[in-house]
Structure 1
Amino acid sequence: MNNYKEDFADKVTETIELNIEDRTKRMVAVGELIDTYVEAHGVSPDEAQLDRLSDYILREELTNTDRMKTRKEEYPFLSERQFERRRENEVPLEVAEEYAVDGRNYRLPKRRKRSTKELIYVDENARIRNELRAKRYKRDTSPGALMTYNLNESGGEFTESFVSCRGLGKRWLNEMSAVNDIEVVTEKVEQLTAA
């Protein structure tokens, strides 16, 4: 029972070894071979043998190794490697859903979770910065050196450092007038000058 299938496989091998150059002649030879098999046995040949015959008919397309055949030919046949390379370079359509014509990504932003290593790094740096801030705050808010003035020793005269602070409030008010409301500042200046 299997002898006729093996005989047909041998005939397919013989037909392929003929190596007919013209495609139409190849198609005629393959068609005659299949027709004689179907007339003799009443069933179609094995799928494996039909695959071999179809590969023989499409020999030029299957043996073309040109990388740019998809651009040069209208209906190219890709080898497995070419098909894999094409699949690697393609991007799914879901990616294009968020991108507009201007190239910007309009996807809703999604917050990324930090890894444990990143969290440890942030905590260490925050601790260092907090220590520096605490030192600066302590330095800036600590009282300065205590200065005593004895008017009996100076004969009732104020020292130069004490006198140089005179008018400091007015100077600050004038310098910060750009920050404060101008009308309020002018009222305060008038009140200070009147007093």
Structure 2
Amino acid sequence: MTKPAFRGRKDHTAEFERAVTDIIDNFIVDRGERVRAVAALIDEYVAEVGVRPKPQQLERLTDYLMYEDLEGDRRTNKTTDEYPVLSERQLARRQDYEYSIDLANDYDTDGRNRTKPARRHRIAREERFVDKLSRQKNRARNEQYRRDTSPGPVTPYATEPFVQAGGQADRWRESLSVIH
């Protein structure tokens, strides 16, 4: 079984893409005529192939039909119309100015933010400064600790008065036995 042909060609998707490009390049000024030409092209494709065209080509045709709304109308307040239509660029610009509805959960009726305060994260430069300062303090603290815990000078306790104290306990014991 052979694939269905669109306008006599075997590659119907490529031929439809070329037909869409041709219809867009030959811009029709009247919107009604544009709609009829696009509808005729789609109907011809569906009648011959049996399925709808690819969504990318349909989107191109839709943008072509809505040329005045998307490209021709440069008003910034198009949203005041009954059925507003924005181009992708205008929609992106609008979203840049809007705030998320999630932010409204954190504010009370007085307009005060009632969320738990969050600490600001330091930037890389601040982190480097804090690291440098803490390394200096740690170095000084370690030096002081080494000085405090290092063994001190050896002092000999077996000096002359200490040697003379030898046998003192025996002398005390004898003096106590005499008293009793």
Q: Bigger relative contact order, structure 1 or 2, given CA contacts below 8 A and separation 6+?
A: 2
2:117 to 107, 110, 121: 110
Give the alignment partner of residue 36 of structure 2, picking from 4, 25, 28: 28
The SS at the match of 2:60 is helix
Would the alpha carbon gap of residues 96 and 42 (structure 1) be closer, same or farther in structure 2, given more than 3 Å must change?
same
Gaps of 5+ in 2: 4-9, 134-180
* Cα distance, 1:24–1:104 mapped onto 2, change above 3 Å: same
1:48 aligns with 2:53: no
Q: Distance in 1 between matches of 2:48 and 2:108?
A: 63
TM-score, length-scaled by structure 2: 0.53
Matched, 1:9 2:5: no
Q: Percent identity?
A: 40
The one-character-per-residue Cα deviations of 1:147-183 (angstroms, maximum 9, x if unpaired) are xxxxxxxxxxxxxxxxxxxxxxxxxxxxxxxxxxxxx
How far apart are the structure 2 equivalents of 1:111 and 1:22?
58
1:109 CA displacement: 4.5
Secondary structure in 2 aligned to 1:97?
Answer: helix
Q: What is the TM-score normalised by the length of structure 1? A: 0.49
Deviations, residues 44-69 of structure 1 (Å, cap 9, x unaligned) = 22222212211111111110332222
Task: Check if 1:65 corresponds to 2:66.
Answer: no
| DSSP-derived class of the 2:106 partner | coil
The Cα RMSD (Å) is 2.9
Check 1:11–1:109 CA distance in 2 against 1; reply closer, same or farther (3 A cut): closer
**Aligned partners of 2:118 and 2:40: how far apart in 1?**
67
Q: After TM superposition, what 4+ stretches of structure 1 lie above 6 angstroms from structure 2? A: 113-118
Aligned residues: 117
Bigger shift: residues 53-62 or 95-104: 95-104
Letter in 2 for 1:110: P
